[in-house]
Amino acid sequence: MKTTEAIKSEKQLNNDDEKSLRGTLVSVGFVAAVIVVMWVAVFWIYMERV
C-alpha cells in the first residue's frame, strides 16, 4: 500500500510531466536545424559557383 507521501510525490511527478515542455524544446530545435541546414546548403552552392 502506498503511503500518503508516495501518492503525493507521484501526483507531483504526473503534474510535472503534464506541464513539461521538453518536446517543445526538441521541436523548436528541429525547426532551427531545418533553417540552418537549408541556409548552409544553399550558401555552399553559392560559394561553389562564385
Partner 1 sequence: MEQSLKETIRQDPKKILGVNPLDAKVSLSYLTVAFVSLLIGGILGLVQGLERAGLIDLPSWLNYYQVLTAHGLLLLLVFTATFSIGYLYANLSHALGGLLPKVRKFAWVGFVLMIIGVAMAVTMIVLNEASVLYTFYPPLAAHPIFYIGLVFVVLGIWACCAGVFINYRHWRKNHPGQVTPLLAYFTMAVFVLWFFATIGVTIEVFTLIPWSMGLVETTNVMVGRTLFWWFGHTLVNIWYLVAISAWYVFVPKIIGGRHFSDKLIRLVVILVVVLNIPGGFHHQIIDPAISQSIKFLHVFMSLSIAVPSLMTAFAMFAVFERTGRKLGGKGLLGWLKKLPWGDVRFLAPMIAMISFIFGGAGGIVNTSNQLNQVIHNTMWVVGHFHITVGVSVVLTFFGICYWLIPYLAKRKLTPKMNKLGIIQTVIWTVGMIIMSGSMHIVGLLGDPRRTSDTTYGGHEAAAGWIPFEMLFAVGATLLLIGVIIQVYAVFNMMFFAPKGLTEYPVAEPEDDATPAPMWTERWGLWIVLLLAVVAMAYVVPIVDMILNAPPGSPPIRTW
Q: Which residues are near partner 1 by CB under 8 A?
A: 17-24, 26-28, 30-31, 34-35, 38-39, 42-43, 45-46, 49
Nearer to partner 1, 7 or 32 (CB): 32
> What are the angstrom distances between the C-alpha of 23 and each of 1, 44, 50?
33, 31, 41
Which residue, 6 or 29, is less far from partner 1 as judged by CB? 29
Is the Cβ of residue 6 or residue 44 nearer to partner 1 in the bound state? Answer: 44
The percent of the chain in helix, strand and coil, each rounded to the nearest 5, is 90, 0, 10
